[in-house]
Structure 1
Amino acid sequence: MGELRILAVPFVASGPSGVAIRTHLKQLTAGDEEVLRLVGAHLGSLASKDLKARCRDGLEHSAETWAVRKRELTPLSSSRWAGSITKATHDQWALARRCQSAHIQNLEAGIRTIEHRLSQPVGQKGTKHAPGGYRSRREWHAKSRRLRVLQDRLATTRADHEAGLVHVARGGKRLARTRHHLETAHLTESAWRGRWEAERWFCQADGESGKRYGNETIRVGPEGEVSLKLPAPLAHLANAPHGRYVLARGVAFAHRGSEWADRVTANRAIAYRIYLDTGRNRWYLTASWQTPPTPTLPIEAALTHGVIGVDMNADHLAAWRLDVHGNPTGSPRRFFYDLTGTAPHRDAQVRHALTRLLHWARSCGVRAIAVEDLDFGAEKTREKHGRRKRFRQLVSGMPTGKLRARLASMADATGIAVIAVDPAYTSRWGAQHWQKPLTTTIRKTTRHDAAAVAIGRRAQGHPIRRRTAPPPQHRSDAVGHRTVQAGPDVPGREGTRPRIPGPRTRSVRPGRGVNAGNRNAQHRPGRSAEHETWQQDSLPLSL
């Protein structure tokens, strides 16, 4: 068995640092929709120009250039609108910069893998830790050409990164490319044009503490009245004093409405965003604000009532409750979800599965949920997994980031701690040590259920390997000799016990004699010898 890598220490995940809630703008009049469209289109054009200026500045950006851009936008909108636009532009450029760095790392990983496999003989089989050569000369030739393509891409991307050049499309590159494949996307040109323009609109404003209702640009009162400050060129559309426009109907927040109302009455900062969902043809209002970080609970306190180990899979969450000693109690639970369809559908499926999981945890009285600290960012490249296309699709489809963020947010609201553990070997060792012992005549334990037990035990600091009882007194090696419970300081205690070749007796040294562990291989009356066939002789007829 190869050397095991060092396992990371389990830790309690930090809670969310912000809150975002959404509501539907219902029963808007034709005038309301027209004003929202004009405001979004006008501010969107300003945001596009500002993004172009920010990308042109590149690494030469400074506070002075930021102030210059804001002063140029103020006469065309307002001081607060200009501040929101420049801040959103800066965030978008920074996000593109981080994505560019991640793309460089992905290209470097692919190039390293291809170079290693090209250096191996054709047909060379790989090992557990390193891939082998390619299967045929044809595949070797194709991968050598792909290596040159990746090297060219890497050189171009590195040059852009060093120069501070990023490539950003307001509205999204995917939607922009859809314009050339309307039949495949089942869209008409007019439908695509409406979606493209709606994605490029800009109607969002940051909050200000101390101002009326926490926002001077887009204001929502305690009774739900929505009003917004019109940009200077559209001030003639105002239906309220001070160049403001008030929507005909108010809004109400069903989720966390009391928290929102407390912030509004206290004039604390709340950011708002108004946008159009072209698929449903509905207008929505999103409110968001920052929250002070929740003090993380010590891991010892979180584990006082046991833990629920959760193994995330492509279509369900496998969970099992463990007591304070690391023993599985009750039966495993599975929370299924469907990750096909649109992004809102997938998000809702994950949210519903986590809701059922948290309700079960509260009913059990458990205050901690253990999950794997998964990160498939560098594990789903084409070069790493090669022909395993189905596995790459499986890994890419698992919403690890979204599930981790949603679980941390939802668990924080219910007072349940989330413990992240190292994912190394949990599935393998769980199946090896727990799947068979937990399988009964009325319950079939899967590998995922056993992995949930392994995850929970690792969060509690227990080894994954089960403790087996020593042999009784009347047998050899009386008590304690054959237990597999390793001490906490024993290196490789999580690994498989190496098999010692030879007999299991003390009279014969290993590697000599007949295998004593196989009773059929021993020279005993009624037992066959090793590598021999035994057949009873026929009885004499004289008898």
Structure 2
Amino acid sequence: MADSTLRTIEAPFVALGPSGVAIRTSIKGMSQRDRKVLPLVGAHLGSLACADLKARCRAGTDHDSDQWAERKRALTQESSSRWAGSITKATHDQWSLSRRAQLAHIHNLEAGVHTIAHRLSQPVGEKGTKRAPGGYRTKQEWFQKTRRLHVLEDRLERERSDRDAGVVHVARGGKQLARNRHNLEAAQLGEYEWRRRWDAERWFLQADGESGKRFGNETIRVSSDGEVSIKLPAPLAHLANAPRGRYVLDGRINFRHRGEEWADRVSANRAVAYRIHLDVDRGRWYLTASWTIPPVQTVPLTVARANGLIGVDTNADHFAAWRLDEHGNPMGDPRRFFYDLDGPATYRDAQVRHALTRLLHWARREDVSIAIEDLDFGAKKTREKHGRRKQFRKLISGMPVAKLRARLVSMAAALGITIVVVDPAYTSRWGAEHWQKPLSSKNRKTTRHDAASVAIGRRALGHRVRRRTAPPPHDQSDRVGHRTAQAGHGTRGREETRPRFPGPRTRSVSPNAARTRVTSASTTVRDAPVDQFWVQDSLLLTD
């Protein structure tokens, strides 16, 4: 009888390819005048962006197209029509992102309140199950959790009221950097260093592209030979060194990655969005170009399964992968691609990128697809869910599953590799139950993660995670073990016993259907003398 408490497992699907491209390069050969003009332009436009974001947040959910047009007209007087369009669009994107983050925070608070309320309803010391937590250990802990429940309920009520009123809390420049101002020693920053970072983060130097215009962008124009020019705002028009209020930088850019693709778009006057920003630590200015691309044509799921695939289990420090054939049988040995998530963000990103590159190169050599889990730890990072398991909470919080999947899909699309996404439910549990021990041997130790990769691959292929059931251990026609191999869905007789082939049972001699040997009745003489012996003759069946 099936367990009714198990949740429904979603069907696997082929992941869509990336919908956009972003490339970055440094601006080289900048003059002192360039380094003076860019901060002035960025600071002026940044102040306009702050005022526009304040106006948008004040409007809340009552905002309409008329208010948008009014805001844009006010910004146009202080900058230009194109700069005003870029600022208002960036404001709306930031407000929408804050609304989505607010809703996720509400769901997180609801999960915490539900968990604490359930545990408080249980007797003190009550043991929990695998699917439901028990009571708290001591009366002191129970009392502390009652106080925390009131705190979370107050927060939840406040967040719900803010959402109903359309109120969001946004800090241009980042909430973490804003909080560092009140604790500079812990952030290991001086006041001057913090101010430089804060100002640079609040500058606004980005503009969306427009197809049909020269080089695909009239506000920040980049020619195919690397010349960068900016349309100056009206109050800073006196800084122009080119006609029509433009400033041409002395520095030049050169895209090494996707440079030819970018040059083709610029030459055809197709839309390209640009962003100029300063890296305060390095003291370098960078330019980021981005544009949309048509969604990559995905192959049907049956085609992705045709040659088998590679099941990949994502872990805190490595990818566990195993190659499976089209019938779901593991082939060869498992592979592990390690990475380190300790250290700065650039180091972590390089580690993940290197591990994904090795995985994708292996998949390309095998000419197969890759199966991954649709992981989302958003509702599983709360301390109410895992209690005192601080190390486990830290473990799953440090896994960048969303960024990892996006990067894998993007890199796979560039190599023409298909990504199949499966439901992550019970893959580790059932993989260890059905595959870890059978795949272990004296020379190979199969881990729980390796077994989970097999479960992921089998689910992507449309097979059950468990192996085929073995026959009874003392069946005369079939011995134990032969049904553990996976056969295709269309194979006839896949659940039947093995056919009986005529010939010697040892199979050392090829069977001969034209001649069947039978034995006569035994001529053994009981209690015969020692010097006598017996011979068992065979009779031939003739016509």
TM over 0.5: yes
Q: Given that residues 465 and 485 in structure 1 are in contact (C-alpha distance below 8 angstroms), is that contact kept between their aligned partners in structure 2?
A: no
User: Match of 2:8?
Assistant: 6
> Quick one: structure 1 residues 43 and 168, their matched pair in 2 at CA, closer, same or farther if it must change by over 3 Å?
same
User: Once the two structures are superposed, what CA deviation does each residue of 1:421-478 show, in whole Å capped at 9, x if it has no partner?
Assistant: 1111111221222222222333222111111111111100111222365468xx4364
- The 5 Å alignment of 1:65-144 reads 65-144=67-146
Deviation at 1:2, TM superposition (A): 4.2
> Radius of gyration: which is bigger?
2
Partners of 2:38 and 2:379 lie apart in 1 by 42
2:119 is matched by which residue type in structure 1?
R
2:375 is matched by which residue type in structure 1?
L
Is the counterpart of residue 463 in structure 1 residue 464 in structure 2?
A: yes
User: Once the two structures are superposed, what CA deviation does each residue of 1:399-434 show, in whole Å capped at 9, x if it has no partner?
Assistant: 100001111111111111111111111112212222
Is the counterpart of residue 194 in structure 1 residue 184 in structure 2?
A: no
Mean CA deviation greater in 297-306 or 460-469? 460-469
Deviation at 1:488, TM superposition (A): 11
User: Match of 1:520?
Assistant: none
1:396 is matched by which residue type in structure 2?
S
Partners of 1:180 and 1:442 lie apart in 2 by 57
Deviation at 1:486, TM superposition (A): 11
- The 5 Å alignment of 1:259-270 reads 259-270=261-272
Mean CA deviation greater in 459-468 or 170-179? 459-468
User: Match of 1:46?
Assistant: 48
Mean CA deviation greater in 342-351 or 280-289? 342-351
User: Match of 2:475?
Assistant: 476
User: Match of 1:521?
Assistant: none
2:164 is matched by which residue type in structure 1?
E
For the residue of structure 2 that corresponds to 1:184, the secondary structure is helix
Deviation at 1:134, TM superposition (A): 0.5
1:148 is matched by which residue type in structure 2?
H
1:296 is matched by which residue type in structure 2?
T
1:434 is matched by which residue type in structure 2?
W
Aligned length: 486
Deviation at 1:480, TM superposition (A): 8.6
Q: Given that residues 468 and 485 in structure 1 are in contact (C-alpha distance below 8 angstroms), is that contact kept between their aligned partners in structure 2?
A: no
User: Match of 1:517?
Assistant: none
Mean CA deviation greater in 395-404 or 276-285? 276-285
- The 5 Å alignment of 1:16-415 reads 16-366=18-368, 368-415=369-416
User: Once the two structures are superposed, what CA deviation does each residue of 1:367-387 show, in whole Å capped at 9, x if it has no partner?
Assistant: x10001111111111111111
1:347 is matched by which residue type in structure 2?
D
User: Match of 1:502?
Assistant: none
User: Match of 1:493?
Assistant: none
Partners of 2:290 and 2:339 lie apart in 1 by 27
Q: Given that residues 471 and 477 in structure 1 are in contact (C-alpha distance below 8 angstroms), is that contact kept between their aligned partners in structure 2?
A: no
For the residue of structure 2 that corresponds to 1:248, the secondary structure is strand
> Structure 2: 5+ residue runs without aligned partners?
490-543
2:372 is matched by which residue type in structure 1?
V
Partners of 2:350 and 2:96 lie apart in 1 by 29
Partners of 1:278 and 1:37 lie apart in 2 by 12
For the residue of structure 1 that corresponds to 2:381, the secondary structure is coil
Mean CA deviation greater in 350-359 or 168-177? 350-359
Aligned CA RMSD, in angstroms, stands at 1.9
1:80 is matched by which residue type in structure 2?
R
- The 5 Å alignment of 1:497-536 reads none
Deviation at 1:181, TM superposition (A): 1.4
For the residue of structure 2 that corresponds to 1:272, the secondary structure is strand
2:266 is matched by which residue type in structure 1?
V
> Structure 1: 5+ residue runs without aligned partners?
490-543
User: Match of 1:496?
Assistant: none
User: Match of 1:529?
Assistant: none
Deviation at 1:344, TM superposition (A): 2.2
Deviation at 1:308, TM superposition (A): 0.6
Q: Given that residues 232 and 245 in structure 2 are in contact (C-alpha distance below 8 angstroms), is that contact kept between their aligned partners in structure 1?
A: yes
For the residue of structure 2 that corresponds to 1:463, the secondary structure is coil
2:306 is matched by which residue type in structure 1?
T
1:16 is matched by which residue type in structure 2?
P
Partners of 2:259 and 2:486 lie apart in 1 by 53
Q: Given that residues 213 and 221 in structure 1 are in contact (C-alpha distance below 8 angstroms), is that contact kept between their aligned partners in structure 2?
A: yes
Q: Given that residues 310 and 457 in structure 2 are in contact (C-alpha distance below 8 angstroms), is that contact kept between their aligned partners in structure 1?
A: yes
Partners of 2:113 and 2:222 lie apart in 1 by 53
Q: Given that residues 471 and 478 in structure 1 are in contact (C-alpha distance below 8 angstroms), is that contact kept between their aligned partners in structure 2?
A: no
> Quick one: structure 1 residues 450 and 486, their matched pair in 2 at CA, closer, same or farther if it must change by over 3 Å?
closer
Partners of 1:339 and 1:282 lie apart in 2 by 26
User: Once the two structures are superposed, what CA deviation does each residue of 1:43-84 show, in whole Å capped at 9, x if it has no partner?
Assistant: 000000000000111111011000000000101110000000
> Quick one: structure 1 residues 205 and 447, their matched pair in 2 at CA, closer, same or farther if it must change by over 3 Å?
same
Partners of 2:167 and 2:9 lie apart in 1 by 39
Deviation at 1:345, TM superposition (A): 2.0
User: Once the two structures are superposed, what CA deviation does each residue of 1:297-328 show, in whole Å capped at 9, x if it has no partner?
Assistant: 10111122210100000001111111112111
Deviation at 1:484, TM superposition (A): 7.0
1:28 is matched by which residue type in structure 2?
M
Partners of 1:152 and 1:265 lie apart in 2 by 57
| Same amino acid, percent of matched pairs | 69
Partners of 1:312 and 1:129 lie apart in 2 by 23
2:329 is matched by which residue type in structure 1?
N
2:459 is matched by which residue type in structure 1?
R
Deviation at 1:329, TM superposition (A): 1.4
1:445 is matched by which residue type in structure 2?
T
**Runs of 4+ displaced beyond 6 Å:** 484-489
Q: Given that residues 339 and 349 in structure 1 are in contact (C-alpha distance below 8 angstroms), is that contact kept between their aligned partners in structure 2?
A: yes
1:476 is matched by which residue type in structure 2?
D
Deviation at 1:16, TM superposition (A): 1.0
